[in-house]
Amino acid sequence: MPLHVVLSNRSGVPIYQQIVDQARAAILKDELAEGELLPSIRGLARDLRISVITTTRAYNELAQLGYIVNVPGKGSYVAPKDAELIRENLLRQVEGHLSDAVDVAAQAGLDAPTLHALLDFALEEGTDND
């Protein structure tokens, strides 16, 4: 299945990050298989009508995170899954989201017990949806 990216100029998320997030999600869901060739940087830039610099930045970040391998002169391929690396990257994301939640909670004047209760509720809801 080819890489499918939908960009939003209104999301507030940089375009390169939207590409990274959507490619990473597709890889983690096995929508993109190990060893699968991704669109060329220029081809993706053309298809999305964005700068080659933006797609290059996205591919370089995906490679740095261990999701793809850039092979000079050949293209970019989905990397073999490294479970520990993927777990570390996901853990970093969770920590970032929790940090953001704590900041927002502080702005709202929520105390720690209320924030813990909200987290417990979110965990219960997440478990119910599985």
- Averaged pLDDT, groups of 10, the chain, 130 residues long: 86 94 91 94 95 97 92 93 77 89 92 91 78
Taking the CB of residue 47, how many other CB atoms lie within 10 A of it? 13
Which two three-digit tokens encode residue 58?
């996205």
Say if residues 38 and 77 touch (Cβ distance below 8 Å).
yes
- What pLDDT shows up at residue 1? 59
- Helix/strand/coil percent split, the chain, to 5: 60, 5, 35
pTM of the model: 0.69
pLDDT of residue 84: 80
Alpha-carbon distance of 96 to 94, in angstroms, equals: 5
